[in-house]
A and B are shown apart, each in its own frame.
Chain A
C-alpha cells in the first residue's frame, strides 16, 4: 500500500480496522503531501494552519487497540476544514486580518461530529475573507492557487478545501456555501462538492455571513467520500435552531440505487445561447449517459433564474452587514485603538476588513437603510419567493432531479476578474439553490484544455439521497472520461 490517501475514506477506515494501515501512516501521508505539493504560503497557499503534533496525538488514539474506536466510520481519516468553521485547536480566522490568530473556545458541531466519528483534522484551509468571493483571491493571507493549473484560481470561497482534496491531502474536506462556495470550487478543482438542504447540517460554529443562505458543505475526492462526509455531519442540533428534525438516510447506500423511472429536468435557463459550447457538450454527454442508465430527460423552465444574481447580491450583503457588526474589537479578534469607543470601532473595522468585505458591508448597509429597504431588500425577498416557487413547481410536476452545468466557465486565470460584478456572475448557476434552500451537488464530468468541468444535480428539499443515486451512477458510467 504505497499511498493510503489513494484509498476512499471508507476503505482507509476498513484498512486501519483490519490492521493493514494505521492512522499514523495516514496522517504522515497527508503532511508529506502538503509538503510535496507546496500547500502553504509561498506556493499553492491553499492551507493557512496545520498542526502535526495534535494530528499525530489523535492518530495514536485512533490506532489504540479498541474495537469500538476502530469501528468508527471515519477512524483515522485525515480531513481539512475551511477557516470559517470553528476548531478549538487551530485558529479560525475566516481569511481575515480582523480574526488573525483567533482560536475558538469551542468546535463547530460539524467538526465535533467528524472527530467523534474518528476523523483527524489536519489543517484549516484558505478562503475568501468571510466567504465573500468566488476565487479565493480575497483572502487576507494571499490568493490560493489551483493545484491542477497553478496559474488559475481554485474557485471560492472554499477554494482551499477544494484544492486540498484535489491535491490529495485529504479525501474529505468541509467548506461553507452561501451562493455556491462549495460547488463552484469543486467544479474548478475536479472534485465532488455537496451543498445539503438548508437545515440538514447544523451551522453552529460556522461564522455567519448571510444567515438565511449559509450552509456547511462537504468536498469528497469521489462521490462515496462526499456521501460519507455528509451523512456523518447531518442531523438535528439543539445549538442551531434552523437545523431540521428530519431523519438522515444513508447517503452511501444510494450507490445501490438505479435510475429507471427517474425524471431529470434540463432547465433551459442554465443552458443559455452564449454558454461555452464545450461545457454544453460535456453536459449533454453526461445527460446521454444518464439516459442510457434508464433516466428520462425532460426540458423544463425555471423562469426567474435570470434574476438570481441580483437577488443574491442584495440579500447576502444585507445580512452580512448585520452579522459582521459583531467584529468591533471588544470581545475577540484584533483591536486598533482610537480616541474613544466610536473611533476604536472604526479603526478596528477599517484596518481589519479587506476591500471586498468593506464593499459588501457598505452595499448591505445601503439597501437596508431608510428609504431604500422596500426598493431593494423587500423586493429581493419577494423575487426570492418567485425563485423558490419555480423549483417547487418543477419538482411537483414529476421531475425528481435537475441537471445543469455547475459554472459557466472553467477555472479562470488569477487576477483576471477585476470588476466585482463580473466576479459575482461566477455564481450564476449555483446561487439559486441557496436562495431556495434546496440541496445541490457538483460532480466532475470531463475536462476542457486540461481544466475540470462540473455538472450539477439539484433535488427537492431533504432528498439528497436521490441526488447521490444519480451522482454515483454518473460517476460509474463516466469512469476515466470524467478526467478527459
Chain B
C-alpha cells in the first residue's frame, strides 16, 4: 500500500495542510518507511478479538449534550484572533458573493 506523491497531496488537503512539491516527495518517502513497519500487524490473527473502543474504568463514556459551564478567567475577545459582537470572524467562503466579513 505505497503512498504516492498524489496521495500525500490528497491527505494534506483532507488535513487542511499545505505541502510543497519537494516536501511531498520527502513526506511520501518517510510515510512509506513508517508504514512498511506497520505491515507486521496484517499478519496477526485477530479473528477472536474485538477492537478496543475505550479503556479504563469509564469505558467509552457518554455525557449529556450540555457540558458543564466552565468559568473563564478572561473573555474570548482576549485570545481569539478576530471577534466582533460576540462572534468569531472568519474570511468569506468562496461560495459567498458578499465579501464583507462583518
Contacts and interface: CB of A to CB of B under 8 A. Distances in A.
Given A344-B90, A346-B18, A388 B52 contact: yes
Interface in A339-392: 339-347, 349-350, 353, 358-359, 361-363, 365-366, 369, 372, 375-376, 378-386, 388-389
Interface in B28-64: 30-31, 33-35, 37-38, 40-42, 44, 46, 49-58, 61-63
Interface residues of B, number: 57
A289 B33 CA distance: 42
A347 B73 CA distance: 30
A409 interface: no
B16 A340 contact: no
A238 to B, nearest CB: 6
A382 B49 contact: yes
B27 A362 contact: yes
Contacts of A344: 90-91
A103 interface: yes
A274 B98 CA distance: 66
A260 interface: no
Contacts of B37: 309-310, 313, 421
A314 B38 contact: yes
A244 B7 CA distance: 41
A353 B74 contact: no
B17 A346 contact: yes
Contact of A379 (B46, B58, B92): B46
A334 B70 contact: no
A381 B51 contact: yes
B94 interface: yes
A314 B42 CA distance: 13
Contacts, number: 189
Contacts of A321: 15
A329 B83 CA distance: 12
B81 A106 contact: no
B82 to A, nearest CB: 7
A385 B50 contact: yes
B55 A212 contact: yes
A93 B18 CA distance: 22
A8 B68 CA distance: 37
A243 B58 contact: yes
A154 interface: no
Contacts of A366: 3, 7, 11, 31, 35
A389 B53 CA distance: 14
Contacts of A334: 81
B22 interface: no
Interface string A401-425: 0000000000000000001110010
A79 B86 CA distance: 36
Contacts of A419: 33
A386 B46 contact: yes
B55 A198 contact: yes
A333 B76 CA distance: 12
B3 to A, nearest CB: 7
A218 B58 CA distance: 22
A359 B71 CA distance: 35
Interface string A17-36: 00000000000000000000
Nearest to A434: B55
6 contacts: A88-B73, A105-B75, A212-B54, A330-B81, A359-B27, A363-B35
Given A340-B93, A376-B38, 17 more contacts: A105-B75, A198-B56, A328-B16, A330-B90, A332-B80, A337-B91, A339-B91, A343-B91, A358-B17, A358-B27, A362-B12, A366-B11, A381-B51, A382-B52, A385-B49, A386-B49, A436-B55
